[in-house]
Structure 1
Amino acid sequence: MRRAGGKPVRVASKSVRCRWALGQALECPGFSGVMAYSVREAIWLAENGVPDVLLGYPSIDRGALADLGANAALCEAITLMVDDADQLTLIRSAAGPAPLRVCLDVDASLRIGPLHLGVRRSPIRTPADARALAETALAQGFRVVGVMFYEAQIAGLQDTSAAIRLMKKASAAELARRRSVVVEAVEKAAGALQIVNSGGTGSLEISSADPCVTEVTAGSGLYMSGIFDRYDAFESRPALYFALPVVRKPTPKIATLFGGGYIASGPPGRSRLPKLATPGLKLIGTEAAGEVQTPVVGAAGLRIGDRVWLRHAKAGELLERFDTVHVVDRDRIVESVPSYRGEGRTFG
């Protein structure tokens, strides 16, 4: 909350994927609302007591959109994300005439000449782009209640070099200038906005410093997965681990673990591998983390049946592999709760 500078923090469910953990976060002062990643998930969360769910991504799930449009309470609790007039047309055809809430996703990448730094998300970038889409949405009976800017090139990159730090500073300055005029343009068409969302775990203090931002988003910070170990702005305090048993000892100094090949999404590389939390152990470069088994070196002290602790490179993706999350206080399990998977839910 200190890093959010007093702005409400919306919890990104894709980085949590456990209703118990989402609920614990929302009970803490300063947290407000969930950012979901699918309409079906948003409906499930709203039906289970979450009163404010913002979709972080567009959806063309016609069945889920129809269910949303048929339920007035859900229409008040859920805000859809859009960045294209064709999405609006599809949503309206699926959901019917319901007064749906929409938020505009605005491209927050940094562009320097032909260079594009950031993710390829929205085609909406300029004030004119955003106002035109807002007017199209209003003409089709949608309620335009917000805009979102996700600066992945700031939030998602570790501070591993002076060049990255310089890029982040330049990007933050450019986005702050553009964000304010985009918001102004949309408000001229739609009136005062309820939501101006920005940021991620890696950029909370930067996004929250902008006066026009009404809220920031974080999710990975609750678990503090491996990719957040090298940021200048904060110290990583990991909270989510998984354990793998030793099933083989091919040599006295190598132990083979069962499972482990839980590779994070994104550009392939070592940063996407699980991180060994048990001191002294290393993955073998020629095998890394395997589908069924993962050999580690430095294992002279390990025996068959021992457990080795690891962390996932990203946050919520790990819970697609496990049914249960054990809540631990020191050396004691105080509660065991289901992940989304444990509740029989998977949303992509």
Structure 2
Amino acid sequence: MTPHDLDLATAQLDPPFAAVDLAAFEANAADLVRRANGKPLRLVSKSVRCRALLERVLAGTGFHGLMCYSLREALWHAELGTSQDIVVAYPSVDRGALRELAAREPARESITIMIDSPAHLDLIDAALGRDHPRIRVCLELDASWRPLPALSGLHVGTRRSPVFRPRQAAELAENVLSRKGFSLVGLMAYEGQIAGLQDRIGTRFRDGLVTWMQRRSAAELAERRAEAVRAVRALTELEFVNGGGSGSVESTAAEPAVTEIAAGSALLGPALFDGYSRFRPRQAALFALPVVRRPNRRIATLFAGGYHASGAAGASRLPVPALPGGLSLSSVEGAGEVQTPVTGAAARGLRLGDRVWLRHAKAGELAERFTEYQLIRGDRVEEVVPTYRGEGKAFG
């Protein structure tokens, strides 16, 4: 979409506001399906955080079910009928939400919660009582890479499950199966060091090292994940084995042991997805800020804009000026709570009231800043839809 189309479609709106280019969004969804090569995709809700967009994706082909990041979020979607196949990707210690899950039979049939320790089962028993209804659970296998397994401190990837070895997965599965009130239905492993790490953003040496690590890690994980699945399936049948993320769709899809792939961020094409060699999503989500000051000829100051992404603090977590081209953030101020200066050749031509379009570093977190998205097709707004925030929902 051109700056002209964006500005024409939203001419009657006063920024700040956020927009989604539907053509880019749909193209990104189709590309994820292509990359999955026939394996179903489970839609990661935290990467979108807008129910209307989630429903658009689930209504298409190639996607089935949701992966939520909060049990309360999953309960909300189950009640509204967004999906009847929901996996909660992170363990929950929310006793009120667990009691609500146990009390609602349709929700119990739709929602699977994550565990990685007998302590999670103990907590559920304590919250619900020993004779609670049957709860669907998924076992999480740690997918990080340990180049020297004997040195557990050498860890490449996200810090998630303590279950690393296939034997540990089998032991936890045996513990689940020995208890009343639980059904083990799935196994999950998220390879963050592959799915969430760009391999084309630095020096040739840095990028080469990342590429080497990701290849070695993918090969190790494919073997270990398959062995863990065999070990658990020797004890009980599994409905699904979930893996991957938007950045590792190809390698995860190639694993016979994996039955579905989690993905979502690539739908909106955030700035942190600009540095992958394997794919390049289109820029689908942007937000507009107005020029409110001209401190000098070289600088235009925008209203607000301090929409930093989660993760380790650094420049990669800042929003990125997108349109007009040739703008950059000030290295001194960055993106601020009340103002964001931009510099560059294009700044000289900006006037008070002009718009600058920016992209968030991450996908779903933009929805935490705006109550609605303008869904744009061509040069018109096709629909205005609420984000989670616009529906009065905040799940942490």
Shorter-chain TM-score: what band? over 0.9
Alignment correspondent of 1:149 = 189
Unpaired segments ≥5 residues, structure 1 = none
> What is the CA–CA distance in structure 2 between the aligned matches of 1:314 and 1:95, rounded to whole Å?
36
Q: Contact 1:260–1:291 (CA<8 Å) still a contact in 2?
A: yes
Give deviations 1:37-68, integer Å, cap 9, x for gaps: 11100000001111110000000000000000
Are residue 15 (structure 1) and residue 47 (structure 2) matched?
A: yes
Shift of 1:183: 0.5
Q: Secondary structure at the match of 1:327?
A: strand
Q: Contact 2:267–2:281 (CA<8 Å) still a contact in 1?
A: no
- Of the structure 1 ranges 111-120 and 53-62, higher mean CA displacement relative to structure 2 is found in 111-120
Are residue 253 (structure 1) and residue 298 (structure 2) matched?
A: yes
> What is the CA–CA distance in structure 2 between the aligned matches of 1:6 and 1:268, rounded to whole Å?
37
Query: What's the TM-score once normalised by structure 2's chain length?
Result: 0.86
Q: Contact 1:258–1:293 (CA<8 Å) still a contact in 2?
A: yes
Alignment correspondent of 2:11 = none
> What is the CA–CA distance in structure 2 between the aligned matches of 1:240 and 1:95, rounded to whole Å?
41
Alignment correspondent of 1:330 = 378
Percent identity, please: 55
Shift of 1:95: 3.3
Q: Contact 1:70–1:95 (CA<8 Å) still a contact in 2?
A: no
Alignment correspondent of 1:93 = 126
Unpaired segments ≥5 residues, structure 2 = 1-32, 201-206
Are residue 36 (structure 1) and residue 68 (structure 2) matched?
A: yes
- Of the structure 1 ranges 19-28 and 114-123, higher mean CA displacement relative to structure 2 is found in 114-123
Alignment correspondent of 2:166 = 127
1:265 partner amino acid = S
1:149 partner amino acid = A
Alignment correspondent of 2:211 = 165
> What is the CA–CA distance in structure 2 between the aligned matches of 1:77 and 1:236, rounded to whole Å?
31
Are residue 262 (structure 1) and residue 307 (structure 2) matched?
A: yes
Query: What's the TM-score once normalised by structure 1's chain length?
Result: 0.98
Alignment correspondent of 1:285 = 331
> What is the CA–CA distance in structure 2 between the aligned matches of 1:65 and 1:164, rounded to whole Å?
40
> What is the CA–CA distance in structure 2 between the aligned matches of 1:328 and 1:61, rounded to whole Å?
38
Q: Secondary structure at the match of 1:3?
A: helix
Relative CO higher for 1 or 2, CA cutoff 8 Å, sep ≥ 6?
A: 2
Q: Secondary structure at the match of 1:206?
A: helix
1:301 partner amino acid = G
> What is the CA–CA distance in structure 1 between the aligned matches of 2:73 and 2:89, rounded to whole Å?
11
Give deviations 1:56-107, integer Å, cap 9, x for gaps: 0000000000000011111110000000111111112223411110001110
2:164 partner amino acid = R
> What is the CA–CA distance in structure 2 between the aligned matches of 1:341 and 1:14, rounded to whole Å?
12
Pairwise CA RMSD: 0.9
Are residue 60 (structure 1) and residue 93 (structure 2) matched?
A: yes
1:117 partner amino acid = V
Q: Secondary structure at the match of 1:104?
A: strand
